[in-house]
Amino acid sequence: MRKRGKTCAGVLTLLAAAVLTGCAGQTGSEKVKTITITNVSYDATREFYQEYNRIFESYYRDTYKTKITVVQSHGGSGGQARSVIEGAKADVVTLALGQDITMIEKSGLINSEWIKEFEDNSSPYTSAIVFLVRKGNKKKIKDWSDLVKPGVEIIAPDPKSSGGACWNFLAAWQYAKVTYHGDEEKMKSFAADLYRNVSVMDSGARGATTTFVENGQGDVLIAWENEAINTVKEYPDQYEIITPGISILAQPSVAVVDENALRDKAEKASEEYIKYLYSDEAQRLIGKYGYRPSNRKILSEFSETFDLNVNLCTIDDFGGWDTAYKTYFADEGIFDEIYGN
């Protein structure tokens, strides 16, 4: 009798436990049924993130048994950063340059150590600055020195207006630094000659591509490698990519917007979202969309797409973004000086 009673009690407890955990499980899953995170990014990553979100969503569902939806937002990098500072709902930012994320950091939304939070200075993919010329390369443009020749018309975006365009200037500056052994006067006159040949200076990279491709302006477009690769893909046999001997490693940066993610209870998911960018699967996707994967092994798989022999400097050669911005792009900086602003 006593034994039976015990088993009865045991069964009851088990049942109760089952019901309780069942209930808890249910309410739990109802609460986190779908997590929604917002990724605020810039123009040129639209197509990549559309596909990446798809594979991330299924990865997250399989690993954490939780449904996740990623909302994307794209625009000029600086403008996107500004909108996050002013209160746009972003859990993750994936912008064209570290400076834009630093601006958000200064507003207190992102922890100051963001650049060390993920591998490779929080840059899961990189790019380089290259030239896009029309098929046949009539003006025989091979390197930076060919761009300053009289009669060459360059299309390039305005570094004063678009952060992404700063990379173009810095790449040219690095070439001048190496060529003229750091002679500042000669470097400035080279940069002045270069920007004198810029016939249309659009406000952003997308605008410059439109001017060059759709409106048929200019002989050469100074562009991000991924934009150039996608243009060639879209218009086969009409354009050629020329990789100069010296260029700069353009490092788009990513970060979790800590304050917003905390409020949305999506810190874990947001962190996962960025971490997964470093997975082999995502890295291959990155290569497919024309960005250089940060994983060296996977990068070497794309040796046909990217010129891996180009000599790439980094933003650290300019003392980091803050210094570079103040020296070159702020009012009365070197760009103003050479462009006669």
**According to the binding rule CB under 8 A, does residue 211 interact with other proteins?**
yes
Residue 329 in contact with other proteins, rule: CB under 8 A: yes
Distance CA 261, CA 251 (A): 24
Chain-centroid distance of CA 112 in Å reads 19
Enumerate residues 63-102 that contact other proteins by CB under 8 A: 76, 78-79, 82, 85
Question: Are the beta carbons of 299 and 292 closer than 8 angstroms?
Answer: yes
Length of the chain: 341
Contact status: 158 vs other proteins (CB under 8 A): yes
Return the number of the residue (139 or 196) whose C-beta is nearest other proteins: 196
Q: Give the separation between CA 300 and CA 284, rounded to whole angstroms.
A: 11
Residue 340, interface with other proteins (CB under 8 A)?
A: yes
67: helix, strand or coil: strand
Strands 220-224 and 253-256: unpaired
Which of 124, 207, 244, 252: binder of other proteins (CB under 8 A)?
207
Size of the site for other proteins (CB under 8 A): 32
Should residue 215 be labelled a site residue for other proteins when binding is judged by CB under 8 A? yes
Q: Does 145 engage in binding with other proteins (CB under 8 A)? A: no
Rounded-to-5 percentages of helix, strand, coil across the chain: 55, 20, 30
Q: Which stretch binds other proteins (CB under 8 A): 5-13, 15-23, 157-165, 248-256?
A: 157-165
Give yes or no for residue 293 binding other proteins (CB under 8 A). Answer: no
CA 191, distance to chain mean position in Å, is 26
∠ CA 45-250-109, nearest 5°, is 65
Contacting range for other proteins; rule: CB under 8 A; set: 58-66, 276-284, 292-300, 322-330? 322-330
Residues found near other proteins in the complex (CB under 8 A):
76, 78-79, 82, 85, 103, 158, 160-163, 196, 198-203, 207, 210-211, 214-217, 325, 329-331, 339-341
